[in-house]
Chain A
Amino acid sequence: MTLLEVEDLTVSYRIAGGEAPAVRGVSFSLEPGSKLGVAGESGCGKSTVALALLRLLPKTARIGGTIRVDGEDVLGMRWGRLRAVRWAGASIVFQGAMHSLNAVRRVGDQIAEPILLHGTAPRAEVPERVGSLLERVGLPRWRARSYPHELSGGQRQRVMIAMALACEPKLIVADEPTTALDVMIQAQILRLIDDLVGGQGIGMLMISHDLAVLADTCDRLAVMYAGRIVEEGPAAAVVADARHPYGAALSAAFPRIGDPASRRAPRGLPGDPPDPADLPVGCSFRPRCPVAEERCAEVDPVLYPVPGGRSAACIKVRAEEPA
């Protein structure tokens, strides 16, 4: 069965004088054991999608569409059932482990929190369980007695991962798990996530602005822009040969080591992402698009299929397609 199915998800925030659509019709699905990456710049709606999966959005958000975790409709779920699915069914590795741990409680107690809440292990076995979780993420058992401020950033992120695994969920959502870490630690954490998730039938949704990180870890990749998926396909193909101009700009923004041309010509994308409350007419990427044409203002493109199991939301892709 499909582990996670998102169909036409929309999220809009109530703001002064109207509504700001943060997510506008996002659909994707995730099979057990596979890893999907979601990339995009700040404010494109990727974290909103992650939080919507477990209905963790603030009260001002209005959610539409359907989200099914393991075949169960999350949006129609009752409060008690929702609490049971949170963490036991799907857990989250938050960005910024520094702040996602309560500074006044020992990390062992915080790892034990979901286990006790969901009653997945008898109380007497909890310390043993916490110890083995810590060992699985490469920390010594006695660290359970430490407070968050006694750990380094990488160790804290390891604690967050141990916590995400505590109830053996089928789905893990990793929201920028390596953002605040230096490259070495980042590589360690990614390898750890890879080891723990791979080969256990756990599905993972990984969110990052770092295309290189996603290309390394994920099977498939979705690029988001202004609340929509604009490109989707196998990770390596999307990074190497993006079909949407935004996807292409995103992967071109990363310099390639050993390529003198890219070193001398660092490319970026001029401009800022559009204000969700005031989106441009037609294609929302048009004002920043290097290859925009007049007809881009007339059509709001949807995802068009591209050979190789991919799709992109650009009318040029459709034009290339043989009719």
Chain B
Amino acid sequence: MTAPAASRRAVVRARRRAALRKYTRSYAENRAGLFGLAALALAVLVALAAPLFIPAEALSVTGAPGERFEPPDAEFPLGTDTYGRSVLDLVVWGARISLTVGFLAAAVSVALGTVIGVIAGHFGGLASNVLMRITDWFLVLPTLVMAIALAAVMERSTLTIIIAIGVTSWPSTARIVRAQTLSVEARPYIERARALGGGHLHVMLRHVLPNVMPVVIAQTTLLVAEAIVMESTLSFLGLGSPGAISWGGILQDARNSGAISSGMWWYMVPPGLAIALVALSFTLCGRALEGVFNPRLRERR
């Protein structure tokens, strides 16, 4: 009890570093999770750096650098599209929209789901019943149809896509968060917090939310994958922002220009692979995170 505070703090810091190392190691044990993380890091890096090596005129419909539908060659490794733009440039640029929409839509969805789940779990009774019936209603509604309807009535923009995905994909999060809230609320420190004179908001924000976070984080990574696929679907169906380049949008252009019937594989395969790869990476990361937070899942593998 006499050691100076500084060295005590060093001990605590060392312990925290050790805990972090433990988490890192348990994540690293999951090879698929590592692969997902690496692929994601690459995708994000490429998306961020895209403006550095792709000039604006290369993506312009009027001043395109190449001829229409050029097969892959030295100048255009993945050929050109219907306007003569490099498909490689398009796919790289498309990562920007796809990742942005994926992250933001997942954020909207997780935020909605968490708020509704915590409120339903905390208050119980009538509030829980009403909120959970609304959740069930959204859960059974065909998500795609709902998103199409929303995207159709609102202005065509990237924001619309984000909102459409966000408000249709929250129910599963709400259910998971509610279940976790119920289990946290049964713990004695919640009783203590109430005895302290803590109100509902205090209990929910200070005690329930931090304990629900691990579940929410794992759920977020899984939802990002879902949101990216959904964004591509909506863009492919022509509901995306007309000016923006996204993977789903490239696929739609390819279909419109008859790429499928004329066998122009370089126009369709790269964006399709990009969607599959990024969605898969997020899913792998999400599963690996779940394993870190819930050791029981790890043992079963």
Please state if A96 and B188 are interface contacts (CB–CB under 8 Å): yes
Please state if A118 and B197 are interface contacts (CB–CB under 8 Å): yes
- Say yes or no for A87: interface residue by CB 8 A criterion: yes
The stretch among B1-9, B70-78, B239-247 that forms the contact with chain A is: B1-9
- Say yes or no for B210: interface residue by CB 8 A criterion: yes
The stretch among A17-25, A99-107, A121-129, A191-199 that forms the contact with chain B is: A99-107
Q: A84 and B189 in contact (CB under 8 A), knowing A105-B210, A142-B5?
A: no
Min CB distance, B289 to chain A, in Å? Answer: 17
Please state if A117 and B196 are interface contacts (CB–CB under 8 Å): yes
Q: Mark A49-70, 1 if CB is under 8 A from B, else 0.
A: 0000010100100000000000
- Say yes or no for B198: interface residue by CB 8 A criterion: yes
Identify 7 residue pairs between A and B in the complex whose beta-carbon atoms are under 8 Å apart, listed by A's number: A83-B197, A84-B197, A88-B197, A99-B189, A101-B189, A104-B210, A114-B196
- Say yes or no for B140: interface residue by CB 8 A criterion: no
Within 8 A of A (CB), among B38-69: none
Residues in A neighbouring B31, C-beta threshold 8 A: none
List 6 A-B pairs, minimum CB-CB distance, nearest first: A86-B197, A99-B188, A83-B197, A114-B196, A102-B189, A100-B188
Min CB distance, A100 to chain B, in Å? Answer: 5
- Say yes or no for A225: interface residue by CB 8 A criterion: no
Please state if B187 and A86 are interface contacts (CB–CB under 8 Å): no
Residues in A neighbouring B191, C-beta threshold 8 A: 56, 94, 100
Q: A56 and B195 in contact (CB under 8 A), knowing A94-B188, A117-B202?
A: yes
* Alpha-carbon distance A284/B193, docked complex (angstroms): 36
* Alpha-carbon distance A113/B198, docked complex (angstroms): 9
Min CB distance, B217 to chain A, in Å? Answer: 14
- Say yes or no for A146: interface residue by CB 8 A criterion: yes
* Chain B interface residue bracket vs A: 20 to 34
Q: In chain A, what residue has the closest Cβ to B211?
A: A104
- Say yes or no for A145: interface residue by CB 8 A criterion: yes
* Alpha-carbon distance A87/B192, docked complex (angstroms): 10
Q: Which of A105, A117, A142, A145 contacts B198 (CB 8 A)?
A: A117
Tell me the dominant secondary structure on chain B's binding face: helix
- Say yes or no for A280: interface residue by CB 8 A criterion: no
Q: A146 and B1 in contact (CB under 8 A), knowing A99-B188, A102-B189?
A: no
- Say yes or no for A92: interface residue by CB 8 A criterion: yes
- Say yes or no for A48: interface residue by CB 8 A criterion: no
Residues in B neighbouring A87, C-beta threshold 8 A: 195-197
Within 8 A of B (CB), among A221-277: none
Q: Mark B1-44, 1 if CB is under 8 A from A, else 0.
A: 10001001100100100000000000000000000000000000
Min CB distance, A148 to chain B, in Å? Answer: 9
Q: In chain A, what residue has the closest Cβ to B189?
A: A102
Please state if B197 and A94 are interface contacts (CB–CB under 8 Å): no
* Alpha-carbon distance A85/B211, docked complex (angstroms): 28
- Say yes or no for B194: interface residue by CB 8 A criterion: yes
Please state if B12 and A145 are interface contacts (CB–CB under 8 Å): yes
Min CB distance, A55 to chain B, in Å? Answer: 10
Q: A86 and B210 in contact (CB under 8 A), knowing A94-B188, A146-B12?
A: no
- Say yes or no for B206: interface residue by CB 8 A criterion: yes
* Alpha-carbon distance A56/B210, docked complex (angstroms): 23
* Alpha-carbon distance A86/B194, docked complex (angstroms): 8
Within 8 A of A (CB), among B192-229: 192-199, 202, 206-207, 210-211
Min CB distance, A175 to chain B, in Å? Answer: 10
Residues in A neighbouring B5, C-beta threshold 8 A: 142
Please state if A145 and B188 are interface contacts (CB–CB under 8 Å): no
Please state if A102 and B207 are interface contacts (CB–CB under 8 Å): yes
